[in-house]
Structure 1
Amino acid sequence: MEIKITQQAAKRVQNGYPLLQKDDLMDQIQENQWVDFVNKEGKRIAKGYLGVQNNGVGWSLTTKNRPLNHAFFVELFFRAKEKRRAFYQDKKTDAFRLLNSAGDGLGGMTVDKYGDFAVVSWYNRTLYNKQEEIISAFKEIFPEVKGIYEKLRFQTDQPYSNLLAGIKAPEPLHIKENNVNYVVYLNEGLMTGIFLDQREVRALLASGFVRNKDVLNMFSYTGAFSVAAAVGKAKSTTSVDLAKRSLKKTKEQFNVNQIDLEQQMIHVMDTFDYFKYAKKKGLSFDCIILDPPSFARNKKKVFRVAKDYGSLVEDSVEILNRQGMIIASTNAGNVSSKKFQTMIEKALQEKNVTYKLIKKFHLPKDYVVHSSFPEGDYLKVYFYQIEKR
């Protein structure tokens, strides 16, 4: 089937840009099939598909004139595996990304490795409906995977998480990252218990970067940053998250690393309320980690990284020791690196402190980003050394 696209879109796609928006189409959206994208003269520009998801309506998969069949996907997965050969050889880590959407030529899905198991995330219905030929090719290139779980990250009436193929993973499943142990649950909704894209940040914390420091981990989820900090001989860690499950999950992460819980505080409470609580109690910290979701809502307020991150930084300065550090992180794709840095530094200027950006992290190498699609590099983690006046 042919889908006509605008001249501007045709030029972008020819130059390697893979994502299509609704305004790029001169025809109606036709989902659940492979299509040829053609220009207004009818010349074929690329092959791909239309599938509505949160950041667009379709993807170009190749500008070559070849069928999108089993052989195509076998070759695609083979290239992805070859790029990650060094990760397979690393005995200290057994959890990493195997396929990173458009970065590996298959916009609309990701695949993560957790030990002997894999988790496939489908971001639109079209690829989900094409799963038989895609997963068949995946199994051919990754025969070592014992079980495949899937996550449906689009609107659907079906369960969002399922065992797709192979055997069930143990619950919990123990994984290793830079010789630190973590537990994950592969079939508990859309989350697994750890965000693999933060591996390099956790590695730095575990290496002793926050040795002898009091560390506050806000929006802590299952406490992975706190565990890494404790492994790296932090003096204490404090983990704060609103979700009730965070208490049990965080304790579990500490326990699998034989870390004494005596110096590890865990609070189940609203993170914004915790700033007031800490001030009232006279608590202060050497290092504060801020890694909020892009969007969060509680009974009192709505938080959006694009609008509200600066206030988070200002609140953190209030409970930071005279010389301290803020690790500011976001995965918000709608916030550029420049905008994120500006938001942070404007907030620090408002608090009249001296600051210096000392480290930056983006996506690790297993999260392949194509040069023609730089917005695929969504992760931004900035380390600021701060001195109060």
Structure 2
Amino acid sequence: MKKEMDLFVNAKHEKKFKNHYPLIHKDAVRNYSVLKQEGSIINLIDQNGQFIAKGYYGIQNKGIGWVLSHNKGEKIDFLFFKSRMETAIDRRNAFYKSEETNAFRIFNGEGDGIGGLTIDYFDGYYLINWYSEGVYSFKDQVIRALDELTDYKAIYEKKRFDTKGKYINDDDFVKGDRGEFPIIVKENGMNYAVYLNEGAMVGIFLDQRDVRSVIREKYALDKNVLNTFSYTGAFSIAAALGGANKTTSVDLAKRSKSKTIEQFSANGIDFELHDIVVMDVFDYFKYANRKKLTYDLVILDPPSFARSKKRTFSAAKDYPGLLKDAISVTEKNGVIVASTNNATFGMKKFKGFVEQAFNESGDKYKILEAYQLPVDFRTVQEYPEGNYLKVLFVEKIS
């Protein structure tokens, strides 16, 4: 049984924990120095010595741990993990039954009751993401719960908790029968090649499922599409299958070209009818302006933070400038899909970025639709930061 330690909550933070805020920050407690070993069970105590909640100690970039229960008598043991995971799996029952989609999230951290832990499903393969050594210390309980609750081909894992917050690159295989990668998964009838054994990213971001679907169904037909920060070209696939005349995928990473070709091929699309460009996106905007290239649909989904030899990009401060670049190559009545996964600001501020960019460009706009996380990426209202995805479909109307 893990040792339990009392942490005394600073007065100004008591109310939020009593209101079921799940993330424990270092500055929220008085005696942080007593914590020594990640994975220790924490009891949060108020100024009157009364129990508030219990959680675990695990350092990640967001904080020092997560609340797991507000029941003083609840034990953080195998039955706790099995219960939380069983509830989460039941919530995704419709996904398991779907004939059109077999890649989705079955457990989404604090949204399903255990912050720092996510589990994704890829056509019989499970992928666990551990975001701290603290939550990784519960590995045996999590694996055992998957054993008892699911039938799987194999379990893989990603450790995302080294000292710099990066992915720990070692053998990702946990148990079962090793997969032969890529495996081809389905998402709303579209095919995507996925690798669970090649580093931190697998080839597709599942949180953009709804956005890819609406691009295919409503925005792609007969359009000339520019997909920036394209990674493996997932948005380009959706656009092509939606009847786009042509897609142009732009990404700085050299491997993006072969990965995008692979995704086109998985869907029976002739990749030679589409452009795949290995180039810094900001340089491409300059090139497009010089060549007077314009697009009917421009997709912007940059990383929250990126550094290249030429520049550093931070979504929190540089997104308006990126939008201005996109506006400059968007046709009148064209649409920009503006997306960010930066959790440090909300939708209101993101809409402010759109307003700023269009004002500075001297163009008018209309927000057509807004999206956040899909239903399998469950969130809780007590932790709005958990609903990190923000996507706006913006029409340029001048």
TM-score (normalizing by structure 2): 0.94
Q: Which amino acid aligns with 2:116?
A: G
Q: 2:128 matched to 1:124?
A: no
- State the SS of the aligned residue for 1:326: strand
- State the SS of the aligned residue for 1:353: coil
TM-superposed deviation, 1:160: 5.1
Instruction: Tell me, yes or no, if the aligned pair for 1:122 and 1:154 is still in contact at 8 Å.
Output: yes
Output the CA distance in 1 between the equivalents of 2:107 and 2:142. Answer: 12
Match of 1:15 in 2: 19
RMSD of aligned alpha carbons: 1.4
Output the CA distance in 2 between the equivalents of 1:295 and 1:121. Answer: 20
Q: What is the aligned length?
A: 387
Instruction: Tell me, yes or no, if the aligned pair for 2:212 and 2:238 is still in contact at 8 Å.
Output: yes
Match of 1:303 in 2: 313
Output the CA distance in 1 between the equivalents of 2:124 and 2:194. Answer: 13
Match of 1:47 in 2: 54
Q: 2:377 matched to 1:363?
A: no
- State the SS of the aligned residue for 1:283: coil
| Segment drifting more, 4-13 vs 252-261 | 4-13
Q: Which amino acid aligns with 2:364?
A: T
Match of 2:187 in 1: 177
TM-superposed deviation, 1:208: 4.5
- Structure 2: 5+ residue stretches without partners: none
Q: 2:44 matched to 1:37?
A: yes
Instruction: Tell me, yes or no, if the aligned pair for 1:208 and 1:234 is still in contact at 8 Å.
Output: no
Q: 2:251 matched to 1:241?
A: yes
Instruction: Tell me, yes or no, if the aligned pair for 1:97 and 1:111 is still in contact at 8 Å.
Output: yes
Match of 1:6 among 4, 10, 30: 10
TM-superposed deviation, 1:184: 0.6
| Segment drifting more, 31-40 vs 146-155 | 31-40
Q: 2:28 matched to 1:24?
A: yes
**What's the CA shift string for 1:37-85, capped at 9, x where partnerless?**
2223332221211111011111110001210111111110111011111
Q: 2:153 matched to 1:146?
A: yes
Instruction: Tell me, yes or no, if the aligned pair for 1:210 and 1:234 is still in contact at 8 Å.
Output: yes
Match of 2:110 in 1: 102
Structure-2 change in CA distance of 1:161 and 1:98 (3 Å): farther
Output the CA distance in 2 between the equivalents of 1:131 and 1:98. Answer: 16
Q: Which amino acid aligns with 1:18?
A: P
- Structure 1: 5+ residue stretches without partners: none
Q: 2:346 matched to 1:341?
A: no
Structure-2 change in CA distance of 1:197 and 1:272 (3 Å): same
Q: Which amino acid aligns with 1:228?
A: A
- Superposition pairs of residues 168-247 of structure 1, within 5 angstroms: 168-247=178-257
**What's the CA shift string for 1:249-275, capped at 9, x where partnerless?**
000000010112233100001000001
Give the percent of matched residue pairs that are identical in Structure 1 and Structure 2.
44
Match of 2:76 in 1: 68
Q: 2:384 matched to 1:374?
A: yes
Output the CA distance in 2 between the equivalents of 1:106 and 1:119. Answer: 16
TM-superposed deviation, 1:290: 0.3
TM-score (normalizing by structure 1): 0.97
Output the CA distance in 1 between the equivalents of 2:181 and 2:311. Answer: 35
Output the CA distance in 1 between the equivalents of 2:149 and 2:11. Answer: 37
Match of 1:267 in 2: 277
Instruction: Tell me, yes or no, if the aligned pair for 2:158 and 2:168 is still in contact at 8 Å.
Output: no
**What's the CA shift string for 1:257-310, capped at 9, x where partnerless?**
011223310000100000111122221100100000000111111100001011
Output the CA distance in 2 between the equivalents of 1:161 and 1:212. Answer: 44
TM-superposed deviation, 1:10: 3.2
Instruction: Tell me, yes or no, if the aligned pair for 2:54 and 2:68 is still in contact at 8 Å.
Output: yes
| Segment drifting more, 206-215 vs 33-42 | 33-42
Match of 2:322 in 1: 312
Q: 2:262 matched to 1:252?
A: yes
| Segment drifting more, 299-308 vs 217-226 | 299-308
Output the CA distance in 2 between the equivalents of 1:228 and 1:134. Answer: 34
